[in-house]
Amino acid sequence: MSDVKTGTFTVKGTPEIAKTDVGEYGLNVDKATLELDGKQAEVEILQKPETPLPSDGEQLEGQVEKTQYGLKFKRASKFNGNGGNGYSKDREESIDRAVAIKSATQLVSARIMAGELKGEEAAQAALEAMTVDIIALVKGDKAAEGKAEEPKKAADLDSDIPF
């Protein structure tokens, strides 16, 4: 069972401020009805008091999580979760591949310098190092290993969240 749903949610109706927590961070607890794939649920949205309430029909990117206190909505980070540098996913993956290729090439170079690889074997290892897709293997990409993942069964898609 999944306790988190991620996607682009549509605000239905007019959200309201349920309460203001004047603690260290001064957050409003806003109640809103969100819709995803034709299903609706009432959720709490924590946000700063100066942040305006979302309006009816507004699209919110993020995730709804089921907690012991009910359903909570958390907006998606505008920084792609990669340290706040704001790179796109494609750019981030391109940088990861470049670093992986550089590392693999340095490893092969060290093995050649140590005399572990010579001649054709060294050339083959160098070629493989420049074309390696370490990122896909590290991330567990089954397609990269030639093994396609089985489609999810209906039981795997069961959730306590109504979306």
pLDDT in tens, 90-104: 788 888 888 888 888
Of 30, 41, 39, residue with least CA distance to 66 = 41
- Quick one: DSSP state of residue 56? T
Distance CA 50, CA 28 (A): 9
Of 41, 44, 50, residue with least CA distance to 16 = 44
The SS3 assignment for 30 reads: strand
Q: Which amino acid is at 43?
A: V
Residue 159: what pLDDT? 61
Most confident segment among 15-29, 95-109, 120-134: 95-109
pLDDT in tens, 144-162: 444 444 444 444 455 666 6
Q: Which amino acid is at 111?
A: R
Over 60: is that where the pLDDT of 85 sits? no
Residue 151: what pLDDT? 47
Q: How many Å from the N-terminal Cα to the C-terminal Cα in the chain?
A: 13
Residue 148: what pLDDT? 43
Over 80: is that where the pLDDT of 60 sits? yes
Residue 103: what pLDDT? 83
Q: Which amino acid is at 116?
A: E
What value does the mean pLDDT of the chain take? Answer: 75
Residue 87: what pLDDT? 64
Of 86, 88, 87, 81, residue with least CA distance to 63 = 81
